[in-house]
Structure 1
Amino acid sequence: MSPQSIQGCDLLEGEWGKPGCIICWRYFHDGSPQIAKEIIEVIDNENYITNYKVIEGNLLELYKSFSSTVKVTPKENDDGSLVHWIFEYEKLNEDVPDPTGKLQMVIDVAKDIDALLLSQQP
Structure 2
Amino acid sequence: MYMKQLIEAVDPHKKLIKWKVIEGDLLELYNYCNFTTSCEREWTTWTIEYEKKTEDTPEPLLHLGVILAMTMDIENHLLKK
TM-score scaled to structure 1, two decimals? 0.62
User: 5+ unaligned residues in a row in structure 2: which ranges?
Assistant: none
C-alpha distance in structure 2 between counterparts of 1:54 and 1:101, whole Å: 16
For residues 117 and 43 of structure 1, the distance between their equivalents in structure 2, rounded to whole angstroms, comes to: 19
Residue 99 of structure 1, aligned match among 50, 55, 60: 60
Bigger RCO (CA 8 Å, 6+ sep): 2
Residue 115 of structure 1 and its aligned partner are, at CA, apart by 2.3
Shift of 1:113: 2.1
In structure 2, what is the Cα distance between the partners aligned to 1:117 and 1:47?
19
Structure 1 residue 117: deviation in Å? 2.7
SS for the counterpart of 1:111 is helix
Name the CA distance, whole Å, in 1 between partners of 2:20 and 2:74: 22
- Which structure shows the higher helix fraction? 2
Equivalenced residues, count: 81
Q: Where in structure 1 do 4 or more consecutive aligned residues deviate above 4 Å?
A: none
Residue aligned with 2:54, SS: coil
Taking only aligned residues, the RMSD between alpha carbons, in angstroms, comes to: 1.1
Q: So what's the TM-score if we normalise by structure 2?
A: 0.91
The one of 52, 69, 75 aligned to 1:114: 75
